[in-house]
Amino acid sequence: MDDAPYTLNDQMKVSEAAALLRSKELSFVPVCDSDGLLVGQLNAADVLEITQDDADMTLKHMSGVSDEEEVFTPILRSAKSRGIWLGINLLTAFLAAFVIGQFEAVLDQVVALAILMPVVASMGGIAGSQTLTVVIRGLALGQIAGNNKQWLYNKELWVGMLNGLVWALVVGGISYLWFSDPLITLVITLAIFINMSLANMSGVLIPLVLKRLQIDPALSGAVILTTVTDVVGFLSFLGLATLIIL
């Protein structure tokens, strides 16, 4: 049994040190410099404060809010910090609109498709957001490393496919009762399955790639994910409609 005490290097990232303390269930850990000399300690109270700060920062970033913004931040400063991400989101919305515009002919002929489009986007968006939240939290807590990334990817792929199959059948059934059209039912069923499966895959890949590029996934992950799920959802739905219905 290894009884050697754990120590932390004073150059280690605070979040990594906190993750080590949490994982080993220690009440405190000595902090040493590069020469092995004791310079302080990290205790449970420090970890709690760091965890709360990280959670607060992650929540703000995922909502497109700057670190500095608080409840009583001046109006102009709040508007400016939020406006940047609203502008980026607008650009991605126009990208989705462009994709829809490429299928104007099929939308003109089958009005039911326009009614069902928000369903495809919404189901893919929430599925991807669930995965994105889990992965970003895992990265923040140091739970995701090189040896378990493939396992995580495979797990979320199967979760996406399972949920995609279940909810595709549910949406397909509702669509058939609503429109009594087997072709529309087939299109919406396939599109929901495809979009939810790819949304889960994107929810894993996007934060991992951003982390690799040293970009905070909490800051831009949600915007990128929304773009992916909208574009993939509309492309699969309207593309399948063009192939199957027209």
Beta sheet of 8-9, edge-to-edge order: 8-9, 28-32, 38-43
- pLDDT tens digit sequence for 130-148: 999 889 888 877 778 778 8
Measured from the Cβ of residue 162, the count of other Cβ atoms closer than 10 Å reads: 13
Query: CA–CA separation, 175 vs 191, rounded Å?
Result: 13
Percent of the chain with pLDDT over 70: 81
Query: CA–CA separation, 83 vs 70, rounded Å?
Result: 16
Q: What domains can be seen in the chain, in order of their start residue?
A: 8-59 (3.90.1280.20), 88-244 (1.10.357.20)
pLDDT at res. 186: 96
Instruction: Please identify which residue in the block is written with the tokens 């500095």.
Output: 68
- Give the pTM: 0.74
CA distances 190 to 161, 176, 199, 237, Å, are 11, 14, 14, 8
pLDDT at res. 2: 45
DSSP characters for 150-212? Answer: HHHHHHHHHHHHHHHHHHHHHHHHHHHHHH--HHHHHHHHHHHHHHHHHHHHHHHHHHHHHHH
pLDDT at res. 122: 93
Query: CA–CA separation, 50 vs 29, rounded Å?
Result: 15
Query: CA–CA separation, 89 vs 62, rounded Å?
Result: 13
E-state strands within the chain: 8-9, 28-32, 38-43
Which residues of the chain carry a pLDDT beneath 70? Answer: 1-5, 14-15, 18, 21-27, 44-72
Phi, psi (rounded to 5 degrees) for 214: 60, 40
